[in-house]
Amino acid sequence: MPTKVIAIANQKGGVGKTTTAVNLAACLAAAGQRVLLFDLDPQANATSGVGVEKVAGASAYQVLLGEGTLLEKVKPTAWERLALIPSEVDLCAADLELARLEHHLLRVAETLQPVRASGRFDLVLLDCPPSLGILSLNAFAACDGILVPLQCEYYALEGISMMNQVLDQLRGAGVNPGLNVFGVVMTMFDGRTKLSNEVVEEVRKLLGAKVFETVIPRTTRLAEAPSFGKPIIYYDKYSTGAAAYQLLTQEVLGRLNGAAA
């Protein structure tokens, strides 16, 4: 099966986007997939979330500007089959610098070509910045589908409608004609509150089969894990958060295999 690229994105911050990128990447690797987590967010939370130190010059910044290759930027993590392209603060300048270049929306797609061709990875997960700037648009142009984490709160659906408009524009401009939402995962779910249950119900009504069955709970263990530089399955493998991400992983693999078939 050719390498699949999935962007994990939501223009709103604090919705569990990086938590989902890190934990899904780790669970997919634990399930036997060769996974590359590509941290495109200048905040570099996915980088520290898998226990890799932020180092000057380690990000994809220079590669996106045309120097070197992405494969040179790949770093191993402490976990088998999980590799990382780290981020650091220099990516902040990428939005400005890329805008001056030719084909500025295709830089990530172009630099990912050798990674896809290398056959080293089954899956590349792109952790996008919490905005719809040039780095996120590059990720959308490069990916086979977008996984959207949605927080269980009332403004959740506004984000989806804005993202759909952007996807329409990118498809219309021929940037990535096959672009679509691979799936929506509800995050920070609190089963004790009426609000969480209502939001999940409403999102399912509107988006149907796009929404994964698994919901990610709001838990202390999930919130703690990044400060130890560990995905939840290695921080507390018997926690409800670990169980939720393992279930989500099975759903993601099911969709990928269904698409391949």
- How confident is residue 153, by pLDDT bands cut at 50, 70 and 90? confident
What angle is formed at CA 95 by the lines to CA 77 and CA 161, rounded to 5 degrees? 90
* Residue 80 phi, psi (nearest 5): -55, 140
Q: What are phi and psi of 188, to 5 degrees?
A: 55, 40
Among 247, 181, 257, smallest CA distance to 214 is for 247
Fold of 4-260: Rossmann fold (3.40.50)
Query: Could you tell me the pLDDT band of residue 195, with boundaries at 50, 70 and 90?
Result: confident
Residue 154: per-residue pLDDT: 79
101-152 residue pLDDT tens: 888 999 999 999 999 999 999 999 999 999 889 999 999 999 999 999 999 8
**Cα Rg, the chain, nearest whole Å:** 17
Inform me whether the pLDDT recorded for 260 exceeds 80. no
Kindly compute the dihedral angle of the four CA atoms of residues 58, 60, 65, 68, in this order, to the nearest 10 degrees. 70
Task: Flag whether pLDDT at 17 surpasses 90.
Answer: yes
- CA–CA gap between residue 153 and residue 195 (Å, rounded): 7
- Give me the pLDDT at residue 261, please: 57
58-101: pLDDT as tens digits? 999 999 999 999 999 999 999 999 999 999 998 888 888 888 88
Is the pTM higher than 0.85? The answer reads yes
